[in-house]
């Protein structure tokens, strides 16, 4: 069946749900605690309040919550080869998370804890440092400098370690449209000041706009250098490759030397 004909599943995610579709009770508690270290609670809500655990549980439960319908009233029912491929990836993620929980617990136990979820935050952060193989990330400061180089990095969630995948999923669960189970009541958008749409449907029918956040007024003559509304060369006889010329004479409109 073509992607264009995928039907709608009448599914909704309640961020306050107690129902677990994938995680065991222990796995739920562990990943909820881990998510709270990825995006902690401070003066602003973090992953715990935003119900990221629900987002991740639903995502791992199968392929029914992969794509919301465009208007957000349900989810798309994948078919055919796309469903097969998505299910295979989903199975890999299920296994990755199950093993990831065991790994977090093992590292906590090594530190004398009963498990990861019951350890204090400082210990949980130490476990993160160990499992990630890197120090706890430091702040992006205005008084530092670094250069970067482009590299092959996809935007999908495959091909990464458990820890990198967890951090990515927590971020996605925190900031995605609430239809996916996280970002409860748009609280994450409020943390960063993103004026998001009330619903996905609003982005389709013209009721959502970001126009108030553009410049209010403007004058191109003030904003731009060398702007001359009349200066359009319309001479097809121009043969000079680098500058426009006007019938052999130096072009009046070419203002650069």
Partner 1 sequence: MTKKLDSVDVIIVGLGAGGGPAAKVLSEAGYSVVGFDKGPWLRNSEHYSGDELKFQNRSYLWPDVDLMPRTVRTDENSESRIFNFSPVPSAVGGGTIHMAGWTPRPRPCDFIMHSLHGDIEGASLVDWPYRYEHLEPYLTKVEWSYGVSGLDGAEVGAGFRSKRYPSGPLGPTKFGEKFYEGCRNLGINAHPLPMSHLTERNELGRKAVNRTSFWNQYGDPTETRSSVATTYIPDALATGNFEVRADSFVKEVTVDRNGKATGVIYIAPDGSEHEQKAQVVILALGAIESSRLMLMSKSPRFPDGISNDSGLVGRNATFHEYLFAVGLFDREVSPALNGFTGNYQSGGSMHFYETDYDRGHIGGGIIATTQIGQPINPILPGKPIWGDAAKDADRDYFLHSMKIGMILQDLPQESNRVDLDPIVKDRWGMPVARITNKPHKNDTAMSKWQINKNVEILEAAGAVRTMPVYLGEEFTGNSCHQHGTVRMGTDSTKSVLNEWAQSHSVPNLFVLDGSGFSTALGVNPTLTIMAHSWRAAEYIANTHLKGRSERLALDPVSLSN
Q: Which of residues 143-202 bind partner 1 (CB under 8 A)?
A: 143-158, 164, 167-168, 170-172, 175-177, 179-180, 188-189, 191-194, 196-197, 200-201
For partner 1, give the closer residue by CB, 109 or 204.
204
Name the token pair of 241.
């490759």
What three-state secondary structure class fits 218? coil
- Closest separation between CB of residue 20 and partner 1, Å? 21
Phi and psi for 110 in degrees, rounded to 5? -60, -25
Name the token pair of 128.
């993160």
- Closest separation between CB of residue 193 and partner 1, Å? 5
- Closest separation between CB of residue 18 and partner 1, Å? 24
Residue among 77, 35, 87 at smallest CA distance from 56: 35
Span near partner 1 by CB under 8 A; candidates 1-9, 11-19, 100-108, 110-118: 1-9
Beta bridge partners of 9: 75
- Does residue 122 interact with partner 1 by CB under 8 A? no
Q: Which of residues 29-68 bind partner 1 (CB under 8 A)?
A: 37-40, 42, 44, 46, 66-68
How many residues sit in the footprint of partner 1 (CB under 8 A)? Answer: 108
Q: Report angle CA 97, 100, 101 to the nearest 5 degrees.
A: 90
Alpha carbon distance 145, 143 (integer Å): 7
For partner 1, give the closer residue by CB, 24 or 198.
198
Task: Name the DSSP letter for residue 10.
Answer: -
- Closest separation between CB of residue 69 and partner 1, Å? 9
Alpha carbon distance 118, 255 (integer Å): 70
Name the token pair of 74.
């349900």
Choosing from 29, 71, 79, 130, the residue that interacts with partner 1 (CB under 8 A) is: 71
Span near partner 1 by CB under 8 A; candidates 10-18, 20-28, 101-109, 246-254: 246-254
């Amino acid at each position: 069946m073509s992607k264009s004909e995928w039907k709608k599943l009448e599914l909704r995610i309640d961020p306050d749900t107690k129902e677990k579709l994938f995680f065991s009770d222990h796995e739920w508690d562990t990943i909820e605690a881990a998510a709270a270290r990825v995006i902690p609670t401070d003066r602003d809500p973090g992953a715990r309040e935003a119900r990221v655990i629900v987002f991740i549980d639903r995502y791992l439960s199968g392929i029914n919550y992969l794509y919301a319908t465009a208007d957000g009233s349900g989810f798309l029912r994948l078919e055919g080869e796309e469903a097969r491929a998505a299910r295979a990836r989903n199975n890999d993620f299920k296994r990755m998370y199950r093993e990831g929980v065991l790994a977090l617990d093992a590292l906590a136990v090594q530190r004398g804890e009963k498990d990861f979820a019951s350890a204090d935050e400082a210990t949980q952060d130490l476990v993160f440092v160990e499992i990630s193989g890197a120090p706890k990330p430091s702040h992006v400061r205005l008084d530092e400098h670094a250069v970067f180089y482009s590299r092959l990095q996809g935007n999908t969630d495959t091909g990464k370690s458990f820890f990198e995948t967890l951090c990515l999923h927590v971020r996605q669960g925190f900031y995605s449209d609430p239809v996916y189970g996280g970002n409860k009541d748009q609280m994450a958008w409020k943390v960063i000041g993103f004026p998001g749409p009330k619903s996905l449907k609003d982005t389709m029918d013209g009721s959502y706009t970001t126009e108030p956040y553009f410049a209010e007024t403007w004058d191109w003559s003030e904003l731009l250098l060398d702007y001359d509304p009349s200066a359009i060369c319309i001479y097809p006889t121009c043969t000079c490759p680098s500058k426009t010329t006007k019938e052999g004479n130096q072009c009046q409109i070419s203002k650069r030397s």
